[in-house]
Structure 1
Amino acid sequence: MTSVPIYNVSGKRVGKIDANEESLGSRVNADLLKHAVVISERNHRRGTASTKERGEIKGTTRKPWRQKGTGNARAGSKKSPVWRGGGTIFGPRPRDYSVRVSKKTKRGALKSALLLRLKEGQIKAIRGLKLAEPKTKELHQMLKQMDAGKNCLLVVAEFDKKLWLSARNIPSVEVVTADGLDARRVAARTNIVVAEDAMTTIGIE
């Protein structure tokens, strides 16, 4: 059993939850976690990098100079890849980097990521996370009191626009719903703050 501290909206500790590591698999599968994170990074690549080949370069097709008699090296086109401003050989072209991942792999990697953060003591729960109005300063102060103001992932049960607007201007804080949580997000953050009503959804019991 590993205990997860519970805080209120004032940032004060009010209790703890005894989390059962068995519900997260009891063992961190580092290979699976790395595999899932690398694939997730691939799936986020735009793949729009593109260069022009010699046939796509605009310009004259005239031979720069005659073949013989000038003393210069032979040249057939200003679009030649060996010329400045010419085409590119084997340059990047738009492509799809995405890879399909099974649900079982995703779930297993997420459990490993959460278990790793749980063992490191970097998961905290928050009780009654509701803001009357969007207030960045209020949210930042609350996270600071919890010692989670930097590199923080805030996990909520349902999308809350006021909370999302409050966190939008804090560069190191990201808000995500429990259903949208993945291994890459958990692995990238050193502080995981979970709304108390979302703990069961992400598998911490």
Structure 2
Amino acid sequence: MPGAAVASPLLLSLSSSSSPFLSSSSTSFLPPTSSAAPHSAGRTKAAVSVLRALRAEAATLPVLSFTGDKVGEVTLDLKSAPPSTARAVVHRAIITDRQNARRGTASTLTRGEVSGGGRKPYQQKKTGKARRGSQRTPLRPGGGVVFGPKPRDWSIKINRKEKRLAISTALASAAVAEDAFVVEEFDEAFASGPKTKDFVAALQRWGLDPKQKAMFFATEFDDNVRLSGRNIGSLKMLTPRTLNLYDILDARKLFFTPAAVDYLNSRYGTSASDDYDTDDEDDAVEELLEQEVEEEGTTAEAAQDATEESEADGSS
């Protein structure tokens, strides 16, 4: 599967010994279960134990100014999966994202769909050759394809809680491994206009190699800042609407704005929910966004149908 091939090298970076979340040698946080309990009760207790095992370990991130000087510190307190299941949760989420991105439009023609081949090439017998009923057999050049790809839906489902946990686990792992930091708002530095050269110089002052992949997460970007950073091929500039697990794992360094840290703490931190219940307001917003996309597609289709009908009436 293409998704698995892409995700494997990304997940290797999460298995470093510096990360307490994904270390294979770490002990499990699950409490021991009684062997005398019935099987159904054991499954219930295990499910409850997994939810209680979710923890949050605060990581202190340095705050850098636009000139590269350290001006303070902030705390990133995110929920994380227990070490025994963290790698599996992140792997499942990245496979789901990559597989759902497949369009599934690959298509080949079978021997019944290839044009031509209606006449029998030569008679059945008395030729000394193997019998052949069509020139479009898969054994001949220009023939059909045997068991070739056809349009299909590759999408698979993942629970919303599980996907959210995978993102918070990846962010927490990067923060604990000291691969993340915070930069002050620097919109004023690009008030005169966008300039990619100044943005690259700022990355170097922050200790980032412009040739290495990095992720910049902010709640919103000023137009000049966005235009200055979009020409840097190794930099991904994400907002809460575009935050995804693949870009988090693919980046060598992560840096945020103070407002982005507050958003992550409120969205994925301990203040979001003590029992790891989804935030009803956030879920409602996501559902509304999905409904808006569907309604926009339906409206566009209806408008196109109306246009085609009017053109047909005009031609008649």
TM-score (norm 1): 0.90
Asked whether 1:126 is paired with 2:188, we answer no
**C-alpha displacement at 1:146, in angstroms?**
1.2
- Counterpart CA distance in 2 for 1:26 and 1:118 is 15
Which runs of 5 or more structure 2 residues have no equivalent in the other structure? 1-57, 270-316
Runs ≥4 in structure 1, deviation > 4 angstroms? none
The change in CA–CA distance for 1:10 and 1:27 in structure 2 (over 3 A counts) is farther
Q: 1:196 aligns with which of 258, 275, 279?
A: 258
Higher strand content, 1 or 2: 1
CA root-mean-square deviation: 1.9
The change in CA–CA distance for 1:26 and 1:126 in structure 2 (over 3 A counts) is farther
Asked if the contact 1:127–1:196 (Cα under 8 Å) also holds between the matched residues in 2, the reply is yes
User: SS of the counterpart of 2:66?
Assistant: coil
Which runs of 5 or more structure 1 residues have no equivalent in the other structure? none
Q: What one-letter code is carried by the residue in structure 2 that aligns with 1:134?
A: P
Q: 2:204 aligns with which of 126, 140, 144?
A: 144
Q: What one-letter code is carried by the residue in structure 1 that aligns with 2:62?
A: P
Asked if the contact 1:24–1:114 (Cα under 8 Å) also holds between the matched residues in 2, the reply is no
- Counterpart CA distance in 2 for 1:31 and 1:192 is 22
- Counterpart CA distance in 2 for 1:176 and 1:160 is 12
Higher helix content, 1 or 2: 2
Alignment of 1:39-188 (within 5 A): 39-130=96-187, 131-132=190-191, 133-148=193-208, 149=210, 150-188=212-250
Higher relative contact order (CA 8 A, sep 6+): 1
Asked whether 1:25 is paired with 2:87, we answer no
The change in CA–CA distance for 1:186 and 1:81 in structure 2 (over 3 A counts) is same
Q: Percent identity?
A: 31
Q: Deviations over 1:52-79 (max 9, x none)?
A: 1112211241111111111111111111
User: SS of the counterpart of 1:154?
Assistant: strand
**C-alpha displacement at 1:159, in angstroms?**
4.1
TM-score (norm 2): 0.60
Matched positions, count: 203
**C-alpha displacement at 1:185, in angstroms?**
1.9
Partner of 1:14: 71
Q: What one-letter code is carried by the residue in structure 2 that aligns with 1:25?
A: S
